[in-house]
Amino acid sequence: MPALHALANPTRFLSIARPLTPVLLWVGLVLLAIGAWAGLTQTPPDYLQGESVRILYVHVPSAWLGMGGWSGIAIASLMLLVWRHPLAAIAARAVALPGAIFAALCLITGSIWGRPTWGTWWEWDGRLTSMLLLFFLYLAWIGLSRADAERGGDGRIPAIFGLAGTALLPVIRYSVVWWRTLHQGPSITVSGSSIDWAILWPLWLTLAGFSLVFGAIVLMRMRAMLAEARVEARMRRMAA
Amino acid sequence: MNHWPFIIAAYGIVAASMALLIVISWRTMRRAERAVEDMRR
């Protein structure tokens, strides 16, 4: 926890974020390229799904980041409400847009995967519907956060919404257990994976690659927001 | 059914979206940080 408090200092945060941004971005892109190449050319087709199983390598990381993004908003919201960290509101705003985009990518790639596998683009199945709800939660959070900033709010209302929205995450996680319809059950759990290693291994590369690139995007957005805030504060001082 | 058009579409949409997100985030950050540098001078 002391490390988190130290990072909440914008100057200290920037001294770490500046060198870290290109490292995360380039390492992430290299891992992504290797993982995607391996997923497209080096793994065998699935005995049941055929070649379409290759969509796994972009669909699962998108789902992971769609849900991970909201977890990031919730953690930042908690830090804002409890410790009033100056960077917490900026971190939540920086995560929201990429999180929403990855939630949308999860829905789109899942729909594309569903057509050759299930014979349909969409089904009102528990997993698909709860993921769609998460995407709408992101849109609502972004709107609320902008409205709060425009009226000079302290970010507490979006933070409460961010924390309340975490109730959806276990619903998404367990939707395939509670409502067994079209979407397959959990393939990767804490105890192991039901996917054969010959198909699974590139997924770890794309998961790591997507996560690092996501981290780089969040850092870039936070740096931009901090710089914009400094310019705005200076302009206000000059006008006063 | 040939699965490859679906696979190419999925990878293409993800790659294009990520590239756009990276480029926009990078340009926004550079523009904002340049404004801070200009303000200091």
> Tens place of pLDDT for every residue, chain B, 41 residues?
899 999 999 999 999 999 999 999 999 999 999 999 988 87
Are the Cβ atoms of A105 and B35 closer than 8 angstroms? no
- pLDDT above 90: percentage of residues in chain A: 69
Of A113, A220, A221, the CB nearest to B10: A113
CA distance A45 to chain B (A): 11
The least confident of A91-105, A111-125, A172-186, B25-39 is A172-186
Q: Does ipTM surpass 0.85 in this model? A: yes
The better pLDDT of the pair A4, A127 is held by: A127
Tokens of A193: 């994976």
Cα–Cα–Cα angle for A49, A55, A58, nearest 5°?
A: 150
CB < 8 Å to B9, chain A: 112
Closest CA to A206 of B3, B18, B21: B18
- Which DSSP state fits A42? T
CB < 8 Å to A228, chain B: 32, 35
pTM value > 0.90: yes
Are the Cβ atoms of B28 and A221 closer than 8 angstroms? yes
Confidence of residue A237 (pLDDT cuts 50, 70, 90): confident
Residue A236 predicted with pLDDT over 90: no
Please tell me the predicted confidence (pLDDT) of residue A68.
97
How far lies A78's CA from each of A65, A115, A131, A140, A161, in Å? 19, 40, 23, 19, 11
What is the rounded average pLDDT for all residues in chain A? Answer: 91
CA distance A227 to chain B (A): 5
Residue A183 predicted with pLDDT over 90: no
Distance CA B25, CA A24 (A): 14
Distance CA A123, CA A187 (A): 20
Distance CA A88, CA B7 (A): 38
Of B7, B25, B39, the CB nearest to A234: B39
Please tell me the predicted confidence (pLDDT) of residue A52.
93
CB < 8 Å to A47, chain B: none
CA distance B7 to chain A (A): 6
Distance CA A170, CA A123 (A): 20
CA distance B31 to chain A (A): 8
Please tell me the predicted confidence (pLDDT) of residue B34.
95
Residue A217 predicted with pLDDT over 80: yes
- Please check whether residue A91 is in contact with residue A97, taking contact to mean a CB–CB distance below 8 angstroms: no
CB < 8 Å to A209, chain B: none
Count of A–B CB contacts within 8 Å?
79
The pairing of beta strand A188-189 with beta strand A192-193: antiparallel
Residue A11 predicted with pLDDT over 80: yes
**What would the pLDDT profile of A38-80 be if each residue is shown by its tens digit?**
999 999 998 888 999 999 999 999 999 999 999 999 999 999 9
Please tell me the predicted confidence (pLDDT) of residue A3.
59
CB < 8 Å to A58, chain B: 10-11, 14
Average pLDDT value for residue range A27-32:
98
